[in-house]
Structure 1
């Protein structure tokens, strides 16, 4: 695999930048902001779905090889991709192959004709069969709240399975025809268009619960198809589950998102208490490594389905800086959700955690999408990019410094075979760890409390006496004593 991007960035396309004044973020808008993203230091972009769809979020795909006209054209996408590559960055598409839209031609034919070859592309059962198998209801999961997943097709004795919503019927990968069609879609985007990889939506639900043991086998086969098309292509799975369930997915997928870590950091930011973060991470790494020693741990604070980290922190700038410092000094391949770097806010429902990005403080800023009126990320509550760029103490510049630090120091930049060891360890209001390295190890210390902490170093910690990074103007290091103010961080080298 080619060099892994050290920092990635998730863009909810509709909300990022509007290039044509229709109120909707689009591909040309993203292209116009590539210099901003490159200057921030990110090396890969993940775009949420861009295919034709009837919803604002576009997770119900109607055509896997087309671009939704709201977002632009295939030519626009190719120009965006070229701009990404010219800057040495990579582009990952959101590939939604757990389900389609009810308006996808496959499903339209399947629901009209029980003898259609596309009928077997989806799950169909009579109510008697559903009851006999005991699958009429499903348990709610963190990523899907539907408990009655079988839906009527008027005039049809069979019902179809759609675990997220009746408008998104699940695909049936026991169908060889479906597999070949989906693999053809994968080859098209990797070889004919030239994308660098895929974020794979709902990876743990590719088969329904009564056949969940088939998920891993499918992703192993999928991974082979991807490697044959492009050996350097990247795959990252959305397996919204505990680490024990995530681990086997590394057999087929190069990376998976680390939801346990995301929620652990959120709890720390909300409560100021550590429940053994470093030890839990090291346990997870051992677990992941049993399935693939070269696993890629995709880390994040939040994503487009979670309360924004700014709101977890109740808008507290120091807490937002602490969260950023934790994400960008821990092992893994971090993803920044668009707007985290400027402190965007948002709580459920989903559209409220996907509000428009703030480029300037102008009320009539032409770049700002207007498909939804913001409730949380308003100009009065969030400082726009144009205001943060000239301010050395801004959250945006804090992110830039941390990203540059991560890329500069090999101990922090290491992704594969995570290099992590606990340090200090006697105070649950302090999180401290070594990022090990043969010649340039670093020591990272975070004060997660709302009070200044005086930390006494032992012999090993005392050998780290060079300040590589500090939350601006806060820590003081004198001999074997470190004074760390509330919610601040320091990175030390030898």
Structure 2
């Protein structure tokens, strides 16, 4: 690597930099402030209803929940059936279409070019089977009408016009799989047995059916309704791995539509075509696409029926020749696997089907690498996989946060979030920014406006918020160069062993760019990176998460060597190369003697030579922060001993480099593997059937999959250590994977507290569990994991509401359903590398988690534990072990 930024002028790319500057200059306009185009912020009727489709590859989407964004008309908040209560996260809060409209300049100021909103259609206001409202929009009563909580049809048209006036686009969330929850079936069976298996429930509005025909034909006791076959007459899904249940069963008790029925298909086309014609919707996001047969969408989009044409035909008639419809397929793949990605791809490759699906597997990898400290090679695999597997990944929406999963900041750091966002914005796909990410939200669905749920009593529209300003810059980077929105990535390096460097090059018609990130919390050595660029190529620094990126020059061998600060991210634009004769000759390199070929079982010795060097840093897996400094002897020889308890996977090939920091020269890398010698330190059985809470009075939720399995019943815990590394095996009564969880288990969440002897600090409170550790003991590390989360925190900042400071790496989780065991393996670095764990105390609890610990009330519900109240401990079973 050569830094010549001060010694000679750089070639320019004025057109690209000018475009970037113009996008960066997009500034938010406060409400009422005059704009340069003559409109005023919040103008309602200035734009056209119908506009041509954009090139969706170049768009940046802002995703807002209507009810939680802003309240522009308080008069429509309370419709009088107990559904409105901002103090309750399960009730309406008051956000509406007018609120969105008056904040369009806030959204545009961020750099977003399109707005995706949750379904605005008339919903079931209160669910009769649980204490929850339809504020989110996914429980339709009438697919063709605006919900009164959100406003009127004219309000929706005004939102469309306001977006189009700003050169922005409107994306409506649509549901084709189900309606609200009026029909209850207690078991599976043929449609002609529905009268014996199913019954209707009335909601607080006095309805026992949707308001819209033909969806109102849901009475299992009516032979005509059964014959109409509008519904599947099925019980709730008990096993999400069963494809027939996934397609025809009730998702979360919601009434499953028979989308094979021509009458259902026609009614859905008519309803959703109306929003395009009468409101000017530019694209659809299709909810729960995996629960609908893939071939349904060819009819939905392209049906040639004059009275109810496919929605893509409707859109074309309004001048939209590229009406985007992208589906939700909820499912993230495990590391180095692509089963869910292939399932997504099947929907996109079905003839005439959905042209796009949301890239959930990429979301999973971004979170694993940047929030949970997994090896950056997991993201590298995902990038390579999506480019090889999908025909058009450039039109697949990508995201870091959304409304159905934990926010990134629930278990990750702000530094990690900035990296994940930069990665998303420099890779193929349509980036989606979930509302509140730009304000640092850590909970799933709080309100942006002061009067709404979870707002803390204040508005959250600050355009000087650090993450808002950061996103302005990062979005401007993407919009300023189409290499990021239309180019093809080539992964150049990634770390297979731990968090650390990952780099890719984007090649497009508009040029080439280099993106480099360090996902570790320590400095990383990126040695001899093969850029694939010509020797002498100048790299103009165009973006850095922190500070200013230096301009660089590729070496004579086409490589770069860099020291990457912790959690850094940098982007360079490749420009012209200079003659090779002007490049500096490389320095003499240190040398490693051969490393052990067989896996080492503990600490081991390495040696080599480095003539001309005074000292070396032994850098393992790029981790410069933990590098051991070694003095080189007078004869040029050196030797050192390597600690191995941070290396927990015997299949991982580790990489060692001898680096001379004074000369900037590094040896060729040596490879080795580690198979730790684990020692059993604790073993304890737990009584069967004691999963009844602290006082024995708790009961499981009433929904399927709880009471028969007893998924929170701990039967045994064993713990091993190897130096400061920890392996914990939890044996359960049974393990459920009915919801197809990413981590291999569901219906239970584990929260474990580790107390380390001789360690100062700690906390006694068990965050969000309404409890404290037994005997006043203090914990230093807390692990929380359920089917879709895996978070490790320290006690720093922990209290009754806050989980503490996030720590990486998180443990590796393995599930053996046959043995009913869940195993978590923590490297020593997760606990700040203690020499040994003798005397450590581990306290493990069970409950369940879904964006927060599941509620507890005197009476159990389908997804609510019973036998306690809001102040009672969230602990179903618990066990304590001490490592001897």
TM-score bracket for the superposition, by shorter chain length: 0.7 to 0.9
How far 1:39 moved relative to its partner? 1.0
Shift of the 190–478 alpha-carbon distance from structure 1 to 2, 3 Å rule, reads: closer
Closer, same or farther: CA 460–227 of 1 in aligned 2, 3 Å: same
**Superposition pairs of residues 68-107 of structure 1, within 5 angstroms:** 68-101=147-180, 102=182, 103-105=209-211, 106-107=214-215
Label 1:436 to 1:295 Cα distance change in 2 as closer, same or farther (>3 A): closer
- Tell me which moved more, 16-25 or 114-123: 114-123
Would the aligned equivalents of 1:476 and 1:484 in 2 still touch at CA under 8 Å? no
Distance 1:190 1:475 in 2: 45
What TM-score results when the alignment is normalised by the length of structure 1?
0.80
Find 1:234's aligned residue among 324, 327, 330.
324
1:294–1:12 Cα change, 3 Å: closer
Q: Does 1:433 align with 2:486?
A: no
Give the Cα separation in 2 of the matches to 1:425 and 1:307: 26
Distance, in Å, in 2 between the alignment partners of 1:271 and 1:459 is: 27
1:356 paired to 2:447: yes
Task: Measure how far apart 1:405 and its partner are.
Answer: 0.7
| Mapped partners of 2:451, 2:456: distance in 1 | 13
- Structure 1 counterpart of 2:434: 337
CA-to-aligned-CA distance 1:457-489 (integer Å, 9 cap, x gap)? 446466252101011227556654433211110
Structure 2 residue aligned with 1:398:
470
List per-residue Cα deviations over 1:368-412 (Å, max 9, x = no partner).
342x2x2xx6489xx9443xx346xx1111100010110001201
- 421-430 vs 176-185, greater mean Cα deviation: 421-430
Other-structure match for 1:191: 277
Once residues 325 and 404 of structure 2 are traced to their aligned partners in structure 1, the CA distance between those partners, rounded to angstroms, is 19
Query: Which of 422, 427, 447 pairs up with 1:325?
Result: 422
Q: Which has the higher contact order (CA 8 A, sep 6+)?
A: 1
Structure 2: gaps (5+ residues): 1-52, 78-92, 126-133, 183-208, 303-309, 316-320, 332-339, 554-559, 575-884
Structure that is richer in strand per residue: 2
Any idea what the Cα deviations from partners look like across 1:419-471, whole Å, max 9, x if unmatched? 11112346751111011124511000011000122334446466252101011
1:181, distance to aligned residue in structure 2 (A)? 1.1
What is the rounded CA distance, in whole Å, between the counterparts of 1:336 and 1:472 in structure 2?
21
Q: State the superposition RMSD in angstroms.
A: 2.8
Instruction: Pick the aligned partner of 1:113 from 222, 238, 253.
Output: 222
| Aligned counterpart, 1:153 | none
Which has the larger helix fraction? 1
d(CA) in 1 for partners of 2:236 and 2:284? Answer: 32
2:114 to 44, 51, 54: 44
Asked if the contact 1:266–1:312 (Cα under 8 Å) also holds between the matched residues in 2, the reply is no
- Map 1:167-206 → 2, pairs under 5 A: 168-206=254-292
After superposition, residues 14-53 of structure 1 pair within 5 angstroms as: 14-21=67-74, 22=77, 23-53=93-123
Aligned to 1:277: 379
The answer for the alignment partner of 1:442 in structure 2 is 513
Larger radius of gyration: 2
Structure 1 counterpart of 2:522:
451
- Mapped to 2, the partners of 1:138 and 1:466 lie a distance apart of 55
Counterpart contact for 2:97–2:156, Cα < 8 Å: yes
**Pairing 1:139-158 to 2, within 5 Å after superposition:** 139-140=239-240
Verify the 8 A CA contact 1:451 1:485 in the aligned structure 2.
yes
TM-score (norm: length of structure 2): 0.46
Q: Deviations over 1:76-110 (max 9, x none)?
A: 11111100111111111111110012331345433
Q: Post-superposition shift, 1:327?
A: 1.4
For these two proteins, the number of residue pairs brought into alignment is 430
Corresponding residue SS for 1:35: helix
Q: Would you say the 8 A contact 2:356–2:396 is kept in 1?
A: yes
The one of 359, 363, 388 aligned to 1:262 = 363
Counterpart in the other structure of 2:481:
409
Label 1:186 to 1:114 Cα distance change in 2 as closer, same or farther (>3 A): same
Whether the aligned pair in 2 keeps the contact of 1:468 and 1:492 (CA below 8 Å) is yes
User: Is 1:463 the counterpart of 2:550 in the alignment?
Assistant: no
Give CA-to-partner distance per residue, 1:166-187, whole Å, 9 cap, x none: 3x20100221111111111122
Alpha-carbon shift at residue 189 of structure 1 (Å): 1.4
In structure 1, how many angstroms separate the alpha carbons of the residues matched to 2:406 and 2:482? 32
